[in-house]
Amino acid sequence: MKTQAHVLLLLVAVALIFCPRINAESLTPAQIKQIEEIAMTIASQHNANSEALLDDMTVSTRAVAISRNVQILYVLRVKKGLSPSELKEYSDELRREILPKACLQNANNPAFDRGLFYTFIYKNTYGEKLAEIVVSKKTCR
Over residues 38-55, the pLDDT tens digits come to 999 999 999 999 999 999
Cα–Cα distances in angstroms (integers) from residue 118 to residues 4, 22, 40, 106, in the given order: 11, 19, 12, 11
Instruction: Report the predicted TM-score, pTM, of the whole model to 2 decimal places.
Output: 0.81
Residue 20 has pLDDT above 60, yes or no: no
d(Cα 26, Cα 32) in Å, to the nearest integer? Answer: 10
Express as a percent the part of the chain with pLDDT over 70. Answer: 82
Q: Strand, coil or helix: what is 131?
A: strand
Structural contact between residues 137 and 68, judged by C-beta atoms closer than 8 angstroms: no
User: For the domain 2-135, what is the CATH code?
Assistant: 3.30.300.250
Residues 6+ apart with CB under 8 A from 89: none
Q: Is the pLDDT of residue 108 over 90?
A: no
C-beta separation of 114 from 31 below 8 A: yes
What integer is the mean pLDDT of 110-137?
93
Q: How confident is the model at residue 106 (pLDDT cuts 50, 70, 90)?
A: confident
pLDDT tens-digit readout, 79-94:
999 999 999 999 999 9
CB 135, CB 42: distance < 8 Å: no
